[in-house]
């Protein structure tokens, strides 16, 4: 039963958005009340901050960013101003004004309708199991091989035992009720902060003992070609403020805690990206930084201050305390990788379940567990897709680097495309429902709101295009060849690479359309 708010609005006792805030032209299906009754509050203010830090600070792409040298620092800061801060402001307004379970889906549906909500939400959701079974699992395998197996590859049963355990531990964490499951991203946030703090401290010691590579002023000068190549990765790192809002009706006070969590975690996340990138560039020459293992290589080099040495050819040998501490750091890195996926699974799986009981996906997906209050069916589906991606990529690709590049690009493009639907919702809903109370508003009024929307959407669109067609617009530069921008291992294979990106995207759009059509019966009810 709903009860009266102080201003006369009806408020759901579970913490849902006031009923007057939901689209007046949309009557929620009967299934919505049935499923929402299973939700339980479990997130407080500190939980939201740690949840968002774990969501925003992903270490799997740090090596890819650092491989671009000093310009990585420049573009990291530029995009923080042009994209990160605007997207944080837009999401804070949406999360405070419309605190409904499945937030990103609900905002998009309210702004653009059920069909747009269905397709956009499918892209938003499916990118996460692809990410877990692809780049995250591959990076975790590379960590095990490099630190615990002396470079010997994991093959056969060993590979699948480790990767399936990695995937399904993440899925199991998402299945747990939020009161228990929230401790996984909280642990992940703490592990990140400790790991990055100790790495930074070690880099300082390394610089005192051995000197540093140094970054010349000219290395920081921005260039168009590097922006086109690096921009999509940075944009991917800079999205995720909305993930906690997918569990808005499980928060104690979402209208206050969401803006608070976004503004606090955002500052921590920027520092958490800048410090490891700077540390890598201080320890390693840019030419030796690998997108797959750059951060791990920097850890090895920096930890020689505790025991070990670096040969003239760059080979690192760790001994004594250096080896022990590096192995501990590698374990922390694997935990950070795993816990990167958990909050995204928790959020995107909830959003898909909400679309299921709201008539934008099959009804059987929109079922919450009476025991856990979580979308167990969607959780298991995410795990199955992650496992399939892991198996197919491992069996069909003969090169880890080539696989990493293709799957990472697909994950990035799916994610960026979904946010083209999510972030503009703030502007549309401000115009559509101007009288809805907004505990947090983008400061500066409508002009700033429009500027934030235009800047974020333009950057997302450019990033998605450059992922689908690496080298886009590089021929604007004298002597530039677009094919030189193809990921590692795809040289001379423009058509094959494009197929790996476009065909899955078209397939996902069609599946999203199918989800919308399958929800007709639910919508009619």
Q: Residue 179: exposed, middle, or buried by beta-carbon count in 10 A (0-12, 13-18, 19+)?
A: middle
Only one residue has tokens 């897709």, namely 385
With beta carbons less than 8 A apart as the criterion, state whether 240 and 52 touch. yes
Using alpha carbons only, how large is the chain's radius of gyration in Å?
23
Residue 370 has what DSSP assignment?
A: T
For residue 368, what pLDDT is reported? 92
Is this prediction's pTM over 0.85? yes
**Distance, CA of 83 to chain centre:** 15
CA dihedral 193→198→201→207, nearest 10 degrees, is -120
Give the per-residue pLDDT at 37: 84
- Residue 253: CB atoms within 10 Å: 16
Q: Which residue has the tokens 């800061």?
A: 77
Q: What is the pLDDT of residue 25?
A: 54
Give 225: exposed, middle or buried? Use CB within 10 Å, 0-12, 13-18, 19+: middle
What architecture (CATH level 2) is domain 40-524?
Answer: Up-down Bundle (1.20)
pLDDT value at position 290? Answer: 59
Residue spans of the chain under pLDDT 50: 1-21
- Return the SS3 of 88: helix
Q: Which residues pair with 4 in a beta bridge?
A: 10
pLDDT (0 to 100) of residue 420: 95
- Predicted local distance difference test score (pLDDT) of residue 281: 80
Q: What is the DSSP string of 175-241?
A: HS-HHHHTHHHHHHHHHHHHHHHHHHHHHHHHHHHH------GGGG---HHHHHHHHHHHHHHT--T
Burial of 447 (0-12, 13-18, 19+ CB in 10 A): exposed
Could you give the CA distance from residue 90 to residue 108 in angstroms, rounded to a whole number? Answer: 13
């Amino acid at each position: 039963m709903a009860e009266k708010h102080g201003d006369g609005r009806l408020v759901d006792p579970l913490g849902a958005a006031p009923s007057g805030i939901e689209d007046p032209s949309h009557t929620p299906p009967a299934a919505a009340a049935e499923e929402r009754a299973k939700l339980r509050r479990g997130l407080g203010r500190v939980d939201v901050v740690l949840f968002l830090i774990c969501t925003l600070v992903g270490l799997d792409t740090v090596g890819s960013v650092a491989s671009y040298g000093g310009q990585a620092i420049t573009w990291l800061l530029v995009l923080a101003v042009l994209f990160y801060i605007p997207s944080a402001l837009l999401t804070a307004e949406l999360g405070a004004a419309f605190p409904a379970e499945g937030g990103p889906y609900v905002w998009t549906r309210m702004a653009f309708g059920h069909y747009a909500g269905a397709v956009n939400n499918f892209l938003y959701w499916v990118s996460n199991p692809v990410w877990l079974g692809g780049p995250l699992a591959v990076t975790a395998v590379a960590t095990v091989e490099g630190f615990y197996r002396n470079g010997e590859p994991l093959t056969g049963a060993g590979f699948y035992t480790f990767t399936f355990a990695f995937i399904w531990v993440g899925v199991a964490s998402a299945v747990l009720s939020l009161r228990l499951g929230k401790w996984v991203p909280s642990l992940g946030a703490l592990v990140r902060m400790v790991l990055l703090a100790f790495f930074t401290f070690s880099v300082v010691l390394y610089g005192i003992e051995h000197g540093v590579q140094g970054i010349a002023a000219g290395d920081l000068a921005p260039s168009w070609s590097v922006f086109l190549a690096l921009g999509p990765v940075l944009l991917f790192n800079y999205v995720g403020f909305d993930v906690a809002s997918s569990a808005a009706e499980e928060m104690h006070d979402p209208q206050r805690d969401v803006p608070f969590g976004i503004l606090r975690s955002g500052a921590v996340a920027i520092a958490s990206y800048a410090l490891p990138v700077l540390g890598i560039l201080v320890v390693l020459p840019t030419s030796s930084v690998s997108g797959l293992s750059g951060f791990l290589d920097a850890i090895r080099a920096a930890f020689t201050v505790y025991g070990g040495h670096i040969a003239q050819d760059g080979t690192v040998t760790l001994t004594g305390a250096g080896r022990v501490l590096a192995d501990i750091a590698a374990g922390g890195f694997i935990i950070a990788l795993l816990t990167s996926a958990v909050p995204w699974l928790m959020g995107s799986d909830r959003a898909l379940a909400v679309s299921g009981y709201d008539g934008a996906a099959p009804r059987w997906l929109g079922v919450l567990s009476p025991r856990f209050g979580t979308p167990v069916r969607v959780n298991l589906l995410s795990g199955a897709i992650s496992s399939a991606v892991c198996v197919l990529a491992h069996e069909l690709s003969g090169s880890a680097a080539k696989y990493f590049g293709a799957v990472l690009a697909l994950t990035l493009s799916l994610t960026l495309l979904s946010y083209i639907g999510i972030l503009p919702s703030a502007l549309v809903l401000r115009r559509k429902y101007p009288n809805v109370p907004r505990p947090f508003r983008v400061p500066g009024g409508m002009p700033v709101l429009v500027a934030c929307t235009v800047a974020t959407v333009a950057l997302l669109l450019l990033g998605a295009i450059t992922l689908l067609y690496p080298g886009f617009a590089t021929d604007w530069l004298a002597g530039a060849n677009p094919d030189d921008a193809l990921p590692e291992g795809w040289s001379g294979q423009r058509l094959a690479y494009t197929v790996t990106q476009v065909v899955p995207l078209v397939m996902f759009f069609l599946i999203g359309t199918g989800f919308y059509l399958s929800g007709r019966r639910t919508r009619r009810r």
